[in-house]
């Protein structure tokens, strides 16, 4: 447990940031699931539209440091490859 005032503040900030990051990563996962669902249905136009929104979310998360930049690039690239195969 935090003993100093500044340590208590850091603990509060960490809790808030953790919750914020969890909600953001959850929304990205949902967006990726939507793209994958469109890919399994062989719906290229819908998958491409959903990929744009998923890519924006991934880029925003990598920019703020929630996920690493390479992870965002890898996920975007793999989804784009699957769409191009359709």
pLDDT tens figures, 21-54: 999 999 999 999 999 999 999 999 999 999 999 9
Domain boundaries, given as residue ranges, for the chain: 5-85
Percent of the chain exceeding pLDDT 70 equals 100
Cα distance between residue 12 and residue 84, in whole Å? 45
pLDDT tens figures, 71-81: 999 999 999 99
Cα distance between residue 2 and residue 62, in whole Å? 30
Homologous superfamily of 5-85? Ribosomal protein S20 (1.20.58.110)
Token pair 């990563």 is found at 25
């Amino acid at each position: 447990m935090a003993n100093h005032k500044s340590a208590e503040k850091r603990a509060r900030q960490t809790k808030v940031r953790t919750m914020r990051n969890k909600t953001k990563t959850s929304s990205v996962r949902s967006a990726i699931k939507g793209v994958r669902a469109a890919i399994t249905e062989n719906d290229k136009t819908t998958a491409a539209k959903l990929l744009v929104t998923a890519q924006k979310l991934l880029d925003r998360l990598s920019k703020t440091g929630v996920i690493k930049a390479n992870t965002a690039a890898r996920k975007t690239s793999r989804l784009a490859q699957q769409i191009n195969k359709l």
